[in-house]
């Protein structure tokens, strides 16, 4: 199973659930079988361009938003990304970041 299929499937499921739309309802709206949507969301199949367009329209989102996977990174990737973002800051900014993170973990 390709990584892109898994990421896209998870993203579609995330966006659908965020809007409180049942899988069966979205499948009906975009005119595909619920089983096919299930296969897409679990990464077992990749949707056609037409289906991607229908999903975007049904969820009222831009197609590019379906491919926004940054938040789906694993813990190691997220930590590396955080470190990369705070590396070039001065000491005062670093202390600010520490305070923010500390307030979230208390």
Specify whether 65 is located in the same domain as 44: yes
Angle at 34 between CA 31 and CA 35, to 5 degrees: 125
Specify whether 21 is located in the same domain as 57: yes
Distance in angstroms (rounded) separating the CA atoms of residues 94 and 18: 34
pTM of the model: 0.67
**In which residue are the tokens 């367009």 written?**
53
Distance in angstroms (rounded) separating the CA atoms of residues 69 and 12: 11
Averages of pLDDT over each 10 residues, the chain, 106 residues? 87 94 97 97 95 97 89 76 76 80 80
Specify whether 45 is located in the same domain as 92: no
Specify whether 62 is located in the same domain as 80: no
| Nearest Cα to Cα of residue 1 among 54, 58, 46, 63 | 46
Residue 41 exposure: Cα atoms within 13 Å on the Cβ side: 19
Specify whether 65 is located in the same domain as 88: no
Domain carrying residue 89: 73-105
Specify whether 56 is located in the same domain as 90: no
The total of structural domains in the chain comes to 2
CATH number at 9 reads 1.10.260.40
What is the structure's pLDDT at 19?
95
């Amino acid at each position: 199973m390709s990584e892109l299929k898994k990421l896209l499937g998870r993203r579609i499921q995330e966006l659908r659930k965020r809007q409180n739309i049942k899988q069966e309802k979205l499948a009906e709206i975009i005119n595909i079988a619920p089983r096919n949507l299930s296969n897409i969301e679990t990464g077992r199949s990749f949707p056609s361009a037409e289906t991607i367009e229908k999903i975007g329209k049904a969820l009222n989102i831009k197609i590019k938003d379906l491919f926004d996977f940054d938040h789906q990174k694993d813990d190691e990737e997220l930590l590396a990304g955080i470190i990369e973002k705070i590396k070039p800051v001065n000491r005062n900014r670093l202390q600010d970041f520490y305070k923010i993170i500390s307030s979230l973990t208390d």
